[in-house]
Structure 1
Amino acid sequence: MDHEVDGEPLRVWERPALTPQAGPALTPRGRTVVLVHGFEESWEDWRVLARHLPADVRLFALDLPWRSGSRHLWADRGASTAWLERALELLPVRPDVVVAHSFGATTQLELLTRRTPSASIPTVLVAPVFRPHDRPIDALFFGEAIERFRAVLADGLRAQLGPRAQKIPTDIVEAMIGKVRERVEPHGFLQFYATLGRGPGLALHRIEAPVLLVSGTHDPSAPPAAIDALMASIPDVRLHQDPGLTHFCQLQQPVRVAEQISAFLEATPLHHYDKEAISA
C-alpha cells in the first residue's frame, strides 16, 4: 500500500496471515504485528526475519521517512513520533504488537510515553538507541555521537550487503559508505541527535504497555547504563540480552530475534481491532 502524507511517501508492506483451511486471511484471528525500521533502513530489512515468524501472524512493515535513500528533511513536517503515528493510522487494524529497531525503537519508546491510542500497544524494542541520565550533552558527548552515528551507518550498509560485502573490494565499500554519509549528513545526524538528546527526559514511568528489550550485550548503542535505566523506569518491562546479537541483529541473527518476538506474542493478550468493522 502506497500513501502520500504531507508530501512524504509512506508505504506499508503486508504479509497476510495463513490459516490452515482458508489460506491467506484478510482479518485473521491470530496476532497482528507491525514492524518499524531504523535509520537508513527500509521495510525490506525485515524480510529475512519475517520468514522466521509464525505463518498465522499478520505482518505489516512500514516504510518511514528516515528510510534508506532519504535526504532526511522530513523533520520540517513533524518529529519522528508524529510520522510513526501517521503511518500507524494508515493500517486497517490496530496491531497487537509493534516491533521496532534502533532509531525506530527510540521513536516508538517516545511514542509509548504519550497519551495517544498508539501508546498502549505492546512493544518489542530491538537494539534501542538510548542515552542514560548520567551522560550530559556536552562537546564530548556530541563528538562521540557523531562517531557512533557514522559507525552505525557503516555497519548498517555492511549488514544490508550481507555476504556480498566480503566479495566487494574494501575501497569500494568505503566509497559506498562515504556516499551514504555525504547524503545523510548533516540533516540526518541532527534528527538522530535531537531524538537521542530527549531520552533522559522521557516520562518512561507513564508507559502502560508491556515492553520487551532485545539487545546485544556489547552493543554500544545500548550500553549497560542505558539498559539499566530503561529496566528501572518502564513499569512492565522484560529483557533479553545475548552476547551474540549485533546492533543489526534483525538482519544478522534473525532466528534469535524472531524467537523472542514469538515468545512475546504468546505471552501478550490479543487486543487488536478491525478499523473497517468499527466504522461500519
Structure 2
Amino acid sequence: MPAPSPYAALLEAMPVHSDSVEVLGSTTRYWVYGADDAPVTLVVVHGYRGEHHGLEPIVAQLEGIRVVSPDLPGFGESAPLVGRRHDIAGYSAWLSGFIAALGLEGAPVLGHSFGSIVVSHAVAGGLAPSRVILVNPIAAPALSGPNGFLSRLTLLYYRLGRALPERLGSALLSNWLIVRFMSLVLVQSRDPEVRHFVHDQHHAYFSRYANRDSVVEGFEASISSDVSMVASRIEVPTLLVGADRDPITTVAAQQRLVELFPDARLEIIPGVGHLIHYEKPREAARAIVDFLGAGRVVGEARS
C-alpha cells in the first residue's frame, strides 16, 4: 500500500467519483474531482508510466474547478488502445475521442510531461480547448538534446525488456532498483516527508501498465516527439509551467519554446525539477487559477 499522501486531507474534503467510457474501442477509466456544477471543467493528462494519482497533489489544491483525470490507455486502470500503436498519433486521437465522449469540447486541457506532448499534438491536430496548460513541458527532442545519450541507453533498456522472455522482461521493466534510481534522479526536494511520498508514489504506480508493448511503445513515443514540433500551430492561449532545475528540459529550452507559440506565457517555478506535481503543487495550482481566471487555491482568496 502507498504511504499516506501529504494532500490526503484536502482530497478527502473534495467530491470524487470514478467512471469509465469506451474510446476508440477500448475502455478508459477516469476520475472526476470537485462539484459537478463548477463553472469550469479542466481535463488533465498525466505523464509517462504514471496514472491519475500523480496529478492529485495539484488537483487537491483547487477549489471551484471540476477536474476530469483519465488514466492514459495502457496505464493504470485504462485498457490498451485497440488496433493502434501507443504512439503520439494514437494518444492524440484517444484524447480527442475521450473529450468528445464526455461532451467536454472546449474545456481547457492540461498535460504534464509526456502529457504535454499528447495534449499539444492533439490540439495541433484539431482538438479545440479554450485554453492549454503544459506543466513541465517537453520542450526539445530527447534524442538530440543534452540527455541524448541517456535517452538512447534507456531506449535500449526498454527494447531489451520487450525482447526477453515475458517473465524476465517484465521483471526487468518493473525492477525496484530501476524505479528507485529514476525517482532519485528526478526528486529535488530536501523535505524527508515529500521525498518519501515521491519515492512511494513511483513504486506504487510506476509499473501499473497493461503490458510490455504499451510501456515500450509509450517510451518510444516520449522520446520521438516534443511540444516544439507543433507549438506554432496551437493558437489558443497557452500557459507553460516550467521549473528551474528540470533535468529533462532546461530553462533555456523552455524560454525558446514559449516563443514558438502564437499566444503563450511561461512561468518558472524555482527550487523544483521535473516533479512540479509532487513537489510544488500549490504553486502550480496558483498559476492554473490565475490563468483560467476561475476557482481559487485552497485557503487563499480569489485574486
Query: Fold-level match, TM-score > 0.5?
Result: yes
| 8 Å Cα contact 1:3-1:9 kept in structure 2 | yes
Cα distance in structure 2, aligned partners of 1:145 and 1:101: 20
For 1:155, the aligned partner's letter is: S
Residue by residue, what CA displacement relative to the aligned partner does 1:249-279 show, whole Å, maximum 9, x if unpaired? Answer: 1122211110010110118xxxxxxxxxxxx
Superposition deviation, residue 195 in structure 1: 4.2
| 8 Å Cα contact 2:110-2:135 kept in structure 1 | yes
The one of 40, 59, 66 aligned to 2:67: 59
Partner of 2:99: 88
For 1:4, the aligned partner's letter is: E
Partner of 1:38: 47
Change (3 A) 1:11 1:72: closer
The one of 12, 17, 22 aligned to 2:30: 12
| 8 Å Cα contact 1:126-1:215 kept in structure 2 | yes
Change (3 A) 1:49 1:147: farther
For 2:48, the aligned partner's letter is: F
Which one is further off, 98-107 or 179-188?
179-188
Superposition deviation, residue 42 in structure 1: 1.6
Residue by residue, what CA displacement relative to the aligned partner does 1:171-212 show, whole Å, maximum 9, x if unpaired? Answer: xx8xx59x9499876752443333432338724222111111
Partner of 1:154: 182
For 2:22, the aligned partner's letter is: E
The one of 222, 233, 245 aligned to 1:206: 233
Cα distance in structure 2, aligned partners of 1:200 and 1:212: 13
Matched, 1:196 2:214: no
Superposition deviation, residue 136 in structure 1: 7.3
Change (3 A) 1:66 1:152: farther
| 8 Å Cα contact 1:215-1:240 kept in structure 2 | yes
In the alignment of these two chains, the number of paired residues is 247
The one of 245, 254, 276 aligned to 1:218: 245
| 8 Å Cα contact 1:121-1:209 kept in structure 2 | yes
Change (3 A) 1:243 1:93: same
Partner of 1:110: 121
Matched, 1:265 2:283: no
For 2:182, the aligned partner's letter is: A
For 2:93, the aligned partner's letter is: A
Partner of 2:301: none
Q: Structure 1 vs Structure 2: percent identity of aligned residues?
A: 24
Provide TM-score, normalisation by structure 2: 0.66
For 2:239, the aligned partner's letter is: L
Matched, 1:237 2:255: no
The one of 87, 90, 94 aligned to 1:79: 90
Cα distance in structure 2, aligned partners of 1:138 and 1:222: 9
Partner of 1:21: none
In the alignment, structure 2 segments of 5+ residues that lack a partner are 1-18, 159-177, 295-303
Q: Secondary structure at the match of 2:133?
A: strand
Superposition deviation, residue 233 in structure 1: 0.9
